[in-house]
Structure 1
Amino acid sequence: MAAGKAKYELVDPQAKGFEAVQRAFANQVAYCRDNGAPITATICQALGDLLETERGGAVMRRVRRWAGPPLADALPLRIAGGLHALHLADQDPALSAIYLEQRVSNAAELVADAIERNEAFLMPWLDGPPQTNEAGRSWAYAAAMLWLVDKGLPGKFALNEIGSSAGINLMMRRYFFDLGGVTAGPKGAQMRLAPEWRGSPPPDTHYDIVAARGCDIAPVDLTDPAQALRLKAYIWPEFTERFARMDAAIAAANTMPPEVARETADVFVEGVLAEPAESGVTRVIMHSVVWQYVPEYQREKVTAAIEAAGARSMPDAPLAWISLEANRDTHRHELSVRYWAGSEGGGEDWQRLGVAHPHGAWVEWEG
């Protein structure tokens, strides 16, 4: 099937077996195509075409026999990241023809040849989930904080992020934002984020980030060139502005690295919320494009811990939960917020503030 004909189908993300592997690749093709990533769609389509062949050596045999749920494990993006790394490192010129958008009529053969030539390099890319840290998504945290201040919450924020990867969003106090004309952050910042804004701007208030830390099961150290290259490999090659943002984030990390603990989401959140709340500070639990990768039992524990802490919150020490996650029906990312402010009440139910491009290219504000 050509990439242009691929359709996204809602399926059980925990489904296993060969048919689930096929559907994971078909869904990834449709998702990439619908989000302006034709090169990545071509790569994923080529990989999907190889599933019913014997090409690709041990790497593709492992993919065909994937033991876990391929959709929840983001299997297509694991191997696609490895192939992109080959291109970025200029280790396979023949494969690079696809990334350079040269005319090719045999993408599946080019990909199969590259996999077979680079088996030892590619096999480890199947061992862990992709890292999709993206500074462009931090617009959501900035806009949500402006909105929360407008709701009467203290403008000092302590950020606690699940699935921080390299901690790029944790450095957002050093980023400048232009959100529909409302600005935040230092004007002289190297990282400048100005998504195309649709609708009214967020509230023109002010926030101050007084603390920022996060967790990840496999943190990435941006000060290590090899780990930085790995993170770049998960950037879809179509989005050149993302590479510029990544370079700015690497520069920021080399100046002052973010604080990222090697912990699971539930252990991190329970530990954070067991600490005494600070008067005059809004504590935030936040995540972007992470929730789908968190095991269900951990999601349940995180939710229970947040709701319990919310019930204990005080007006001068509120708690907020900020989520930017994919809606698999619309292929858009939705910014939603819950907050608790003690006896003064709050927004305990989820409120959607906007929808956006997966990497923050545009925002449709609803808040």
Structure 2
Amino acid sequence: MADEQSVRQAFIQQANACSALGSPFTGALCRLFAERLDRKTPVGRTVLDWPGDPSGAADSVPLRLAGSLHALVLEGLEPALAALYPPETHWSEDGIDEALASALLAAFETHAGFICERLRSAPQTNEVRRSGALLPGFLTIAKRFPLPLRMSEIGASAGLNLHWDRYGYAFGGFSWGNPNSAVRITPEWNGPPPDVAPISIVERAGCDLNPIDPNDPDQCTRLLSYIWADQTDRLDRTRQALAIARQQAAGVDKQDALDFLRQRLGTSPENTVHVIYHSIAWQYLPEAARAEGERLIKTAGEKATEPHPLAHLAMEADGQSPGAALTLQIWPTGEKQEIGRADFHGRWVQWKGWRN
């Protein structure tokens, strides 16, 4: 069981991370709870007596609590709280004002059952802007192998980044995709222009331990609740991406990543390039599972040929800064390179490209 001090420290660390990632409201929310959480309510006791690691590297308890409260607002269960939530102005860089603080703490009593149930689930988002960081990698693959793409995404959630080719992109002077798409992705771009190559996708599939069904309003609301309440652009973009996903046949299978890899790597049609990809998902696999996943991909890569290549594109934390590493490994050569770095939420891309 975590001690109370480590729980409060987890909220402070998450507050700093949220502020750095452009959510001063969620940062202020986490600081408020770091200071005021007590054991007078079931919610307070559940959080302060957390049985595991409450930090953002493990159970992400602060984001579970923030998501629970946002869900009350989105589902219309607490109008008094909703009236004080963003885009209202009952918070600032200096913190939460007393009216909102009182409404938040009152919700712990009024909606204890709802919040405690939500605390049992890990946060789950499907950040659409990560497609803006992945797209240059897909274009690099398509230029290297002028073949149709067979897409396999690990940790796909609602499958929003399975539909990356249906969005519109602008990287400075470079644009790509559907100019009429309701989803526009425009990261700050640093580096040379990405490669340009025709894209044809013959198949797409994804897996997740807890996939979100875009056709289920309750599941969609749960997904939206984990987006930080003051980031209305992320909320709007995700809603539009969910609408696009509802129009498509490709879904996300409820499946373990290793089982998914064994299935997808077991067979693949000739004259296609099989693209295994993931974004801020690999790190959540247990260490043994990551090692086995890498072995499965490498073994399949050793069997790859020029008419039947394999690519592994990843956007994952690597302990370095800034942001996350964009890495690409291709077979039959097996060569691996860091092709860029990207903000965890896809706000910017530092592009290096593939070095021949």
Superposition TM-score, scaled by structure 1 size: 0.86
Match of 1:248 among 235, 240, 250: 240
- 1:320 paired with 2:311, answer yes
Tell me which residue corresponds to 1:79: 65
Match of 1:200 among 184, 192, 195: 192
Distance in 2 (CA, whole Å) between partners of 1:228 and 1:33 is 25
Match of 1:27 among 10, 13, 36: 13
- 1:168 paired with 2:174, answer no
| Amino acid of the structure 1 residue aligned with 2:338 | R
Shift of 1:88: 2.2
Aligned length: 344
Tell me which residue corresponds to 1:297: 288
Question: Please, which runs of 5 or more residues in structure 2 have no aligned partner?
Answer: none
Distance in 1 (CA, whole Å) between partners of 2:198 and 2:162 is 18
- 1:60 paired with 2:44, answer yes
Shift of 1:75: 1.8
Shift of 1:109: 4.5
- 1:102 paired with 2:90, answer yes
- 1:185 paired with 2:177, answer yes
Answer yes or no: is the 8 Å Cα contact 1:39–1:101 preserved in 2. Answer: no
Shift of 1:187: 3.3
Shift of 1:327: 5.0
Distance in 2 (CA, whole Å) between partners of 1:16 and 1:309 is 41
- 1:353 paired with 2:329, answer no
Cα distance change, pair 257–59 in 1 and its aligned pair in 2 (3 A): farther
Match of 1:228 among 214, 220, 237: 220
Distance in 2 (CA, whole Å) between partners of 1:25 and 1:296 is 25
Answer yes or no: is the 8 Å Cα contact 2:133–2:349 preserved in 1. Answer: no
Structural RMSD (CA): 2.2
Shift of 1:214: 0.4
Distance in 2 (CA, whole Å) between partners of 1:189 and 1:105 is 39
Cα distance change, pair 324–42 in 1 and its aligned pair in 2 (3 A): same
| Amino acid of the structure 1 residue aligned with 2:45 | R
Answer yes or no: is the 8 Å Cα contact 2:39–2:48 preserved in 1. Answer: no
| Amino acid of the structure 1 residue aligned with 2:254 | R
Distance in 2 (CA, whole Å) between partners of 1:282 and 1:306 is 14
Cα distance change, pair 260–54 in 1 and its aligned pair in 2 (3 A): same
Structure 2 counterparts to residues 254-265 of structure 1, below 5 A? 254-265=246-257
| Amino acid of the structure 2 residue aligned with 1:102 | H
Tell me which residue corresponds to 1:336: 327
Answer yes or no: is the 8 Å Cα contact 1:132–1:234 preserved in 2. Answer: yes
Distance in 2 (CA, whole Å) between partners of 1:135 and 1:105 is 32
Shift of 1:85: 1.2
Structure 2 counterparts to residues 30-41 of structure 1, below 5 A? 30-41=16-27
Question: Please, which runs of 5 or more residues in structure 1 have no aligned partner?
Answer: 1-14
Q: Deviations over 1:222-248 (max 9, x none)?
A: 111111111111111232222221221
Tell me which residue corresponds to 1:12: none
Q: Secondary structure at the match of 2:198?
A: coil
Shift of 1:328: 5.6
Tell me which residue corresponds to 1:309: 300
Identity of aligned residues (%): 35
Q: Secondary structure at the match of 1:135?
A: coil
